Amino acid sequence: MNIPVSLTFDTIYFEAINESFMISYLDMMTKEQISLIPYQYYVLEGVWLGWIRNQVFSDIRYISMKILLKSKQWNMVDVEKLLLCSIIPRTSQGWLYCERQPLILTKDKICFQRVDGISVDTTTGEIYFLFQPALNPNDGLFDERDVAEVLQNDLTYTYFSLEQPDGDLLYHPFQEMKYKPKTLLNTRYLDTMLHADYLLKMFTTGVEVCAKIPFTIRSIDEGFFQRLPEHLRQKLRPLHEMRNDHKDKKHRTHRFWIQADDTTYEIKQVQNNSNQFSMRVGNVRLRVRKRRLIANNKGILIDDDDENLDEHDSPESQFARAFTENYDEIGKYFPELLRLKELVKLGIILSFIRDAYEILARPVSINSIATYLADWRRRIKYPCATHANESTEYQDCLTWNMVDARDVSSAEEQRVKNEIYQYLESIDQETVDKYTNYICEKYHSSDRYTARSYVKQWLESKENDSLTNFIANSMNNYNKRLLKPIEKMKIKLNDNENVSSTEVNATKFCHWVPAVFHRTSNSSRVYGGLQLSIDIRSGVVPLIPGVCRYNALTLLQNVPKKIIIPEEKHPSTKDFNKTSSLLKDTNSSTNNISNRTYPPKSSETHNNTTKLSEAKQTFEKTDSTSTSTEMPMDFTNFHLLETVKSLLRDYIPENLPEPSPLIQYLKEKYPGNILNQIDTIENAQSNVLIHTAQENSTIKNNTQVVQEVAP
């Protein structure tokens, strides 16, 4: 007969004795507090897992939190300061309100509801923000302080996460904030990210953590969940409730995070002002995503890459889809969620401004200017005033008017040739002046005397080094002037530093917040964060009504002022490609070269034939030694104009290089936008109407309103 070494009740007895001994040991060690081992944490773990049953979870949690904070030289007040976000309203007890509350923004300052984009003046470098003001202050999502924070701290791409502080302490009562860039520290942007992530965790677990010591826990049904209408409460039930209705009732650890989808941008020239263009950003869609977590061999939670297809229908997946599909509606009751979208768009605006600054700060390429000038010079017929052209024009005049050269006296011949030569010289003079004026105007130089000497040297010798350097220096100096308004904004003009989130959190500041615990028959915790890096692509951005334009420098200096733009009468742009613009009209006279057409009309041919007969009779009557300076009947002037026109037709190139570095840059970086068609601003199909509303009683600061109306 075989007698068992131990019976079943022996195993149960040993287990009970072991638990009792472990509890007594942990109790003794926590009282002595002579070791670096966090024994109080293991008491918390025992209560959490249920093998310590004679302790109150909230009391053990509080003691464990204090001890763990002390090991980091932090305290509970440090944690409370993190949770009491400056923009999120809470009750005096530290709970979120049961009713929808507006965000706490800067008092007595205008607040905004939407980010539309920016507009840039390419002649002054001034930048204007295009924002939709909140006509009702309760609808405000951001203010000028937020704009300054994003632009001055380079918050273009942001990341935030709440993670395990210690891989060996799986039931740690805190979660650790990790974020980048490091410039997020002490900003309302970071407060918003923390609260949005915290709010998502409270939704999924069904419990709310109080922001005040001792950070007690209650059901969300007692608090902020009451804000939502019934149909949203049904869709966003806590995971443990959804799991009760699901076939798979096993609890697993997941992480949920908010991620920004790609969005569109649109660039347009401002109607009736070719020197300004707007860069507008489309709506940013934020979605909730989830991933199951497993512990690796070091006890650290990592993503489970082997998620099966059943996860698609899991309670976690259903919750993520419901939150994403109803994100904007949920945001009506929790405006901090909508605020995130506008903060992301402010980061895109910073990218626009920084791109413009980088291209303006880049030295102008001398090689490209030299190439342009060489191409221009090959297409220019200069000089016109040569003896060969003089002789050619003289012979053409005689031929056209059917006058034999032998019938013209030498004195008259010389007089006509001198007049032809003088006119050709005036054409050369005007050519130099036109190019000088063009270069000074387009490349923003007031030194016309120096420019003219270089233009003349370039035309006469085809040597363009001096003119190339002159243009490059003018453009560089002009670009420096354009940079000044941006530099005065004191924004962050370089990229984010590539600092890992671990390095970012290696600071003396407390970055722990209470973990969101949930306890039913099974225990669960949720991890996650926010991934707000975003890519943009060219597209059509829907119009936003009631957009206002704010001078960026003025707004960032915290002194918003009304911007008044007087109505401008825009004269028609001179077309330098048209040869007629090179020829000035003169008063009619017998020696006027510019009042004839070529070829002549039939009636003109008949009249000219009559005039030629009269001219021949005059020549026959004139003594061959006559020194008269009077020119008979204008016959020399007839063909000269058309010959000069033919010489000048290819004089001005059809396509001049674009002098504005901003426009050129935008063409290269943002292909396919409206800036590639310079004349589009005159198009009647323009779908943007921007005008000033000087009287708007609904806006306190009387800022300039830019109303955009679809056709």
> Where residue 355 falls among pLDDT bands split at 50, 70, 90?
confident
> Where residue 9 falls among pLDDT bands split at 50, 70, 90?
low
Contact at 8 Å (CB) between 547 and 703? no
Q: Measured between alpha carbons, how far is 706 from 270 in angstroms, rounded to an integer? A: 11
| More confident site: 581 or 178 | 178
| More confident site: 505 or 368 | 368
> Where residue 608 falls among pLDDT bands split at 50, 70, 90?
very low
| More confident site: 315 or 91 | 91
DSSP H or E run through 65: helix 57-71
Asked whether residue 613 carries a pLDDT value surpassing 60, the answer given is no
DSSP H or E run through 217: strand 217-219
First-residue to last-residue Cα distance in the chain: 100
Alpha-carbon distances of 137 from 101, 129, 472, 558, 698, rounded to whole Å: 11, 19, 50, 18, 11
Among the residue ranges 53-67, 117-131, 548-562, the one predicted with the least confidence is: 548-562
Helix axis angle for 335-361 and 661-669, nearest 10°, is 120
Asked whether residue 310 carries a pLDDT value surpassing 80, the answer given is no
Mean local confidence (pLDDT), 561-588 = 33
Q: What is the DSSP string of 436-469?
A: HHHHHHHTT---HHHHHHHHHHHHHH---HHHHH
pLDDT at 496: 52
pLDDT at 3: 56
| More confident site: 694 or 422 | 422
Q: Give percent of the chain with pLDDT exceeding 70.
A: 65
> Which two structure tokens, joined as six digits, stand for 132?
């939709």
> Where residue 318 falls among pLDDT bands split at 50, 70, 90?
confident
Q: Which amino acid is at 280?
A: R
pLDDT at 217: 92
| More confident site: 628 or 360 | 360
Mean local confidence (pLDDT), 51-67 = 83
Asked whether residue 65 carries a pLDDT value surpassing 80, the answer given is yes
Over the stretch 575-600, which tens digit does the pLDDT of each residue have? 333 322 322 333 333 333 233 222 33
Q: Measured between alpha carbons, how far is 295 from 459 in angstroms, rounded to an integer? A: 77
- Phi, psi dihedrals of residue 16, rounded to the nearest 5°: -65, -40
Q: Note if the bond before 229 is cis, omega within 30 degrees.
A: no
Contact at 8 Å (CB) between 196 and 258? yes
Alpha-carbon distances of 152 from 19, 145, 711, rounded to whole Å: 57, 10, 38
Q: Measured between alpha carbons, how far is 361 from 476 in angstroms, rounded to an integer? A: 8
- Phi, psi dihedrals of residue 342, rounded to the nearest 5°: -75, -35
pLDDT at 567: 34
**Of 98, 152, 119, 212, which Cα lies nearest the Cα of 666?**
119
Q: Measured between alpha carbons, how far is 356 from 511 in angstroms, rounded to an integer? A: 36
Q: In 10 A of CB 379, how many CB atoms?
A: 11
pLDDT at 313: 74
| More confident site: 304 or 409 | 409
pLDDT at 600: 32
pLDDT at 710: 31
Q: What are the beta bridge partners of residue 179? A: 160
| More confident site: 143 or 108 | 143
Among the residue ranges 272-286, 342-356, 525-539, 656-670, the one predicted with the least confidence is: 656-670
> Which two structure tokens, joined as six digits, stand for 677?
């068609």
Q: Measured between alpha carbons, how far is 494 from 591 in angstroms, rounded to an integer? A: 66
> Where residue 685 falls among pLDDT bands split at 50, 70, 90?
very low
DSSP H or E run through 524: strand 523-524
**Of 225, 214, 211, 221, which Cα lies nearest the Cα of 62?**
214
Average pLDDT, the chain: 73
Cα of 466 vs its chain's centroid, Å: 38
> Where residue 419 falls among pLDDT bands split at 50, 70, 90?
confident
> Which two structure tokens, joined as six digits, stand for 71?
């090991």
| More confident site: 316 or 200 | 200
Over the stretch 621-645, which tens digit does the pLDDT of each residue have? 333 333 332 322 233 333 333 333 3
Q: Where do the domains of the chain lie?
A: 8-71, 366-487+581-648
Q: Measured between alpha carbons, how far is 440 from 86 in angstroms, rounded to an integer? A: 54
Mean local confidence (pLDDT), 194-206 = 92
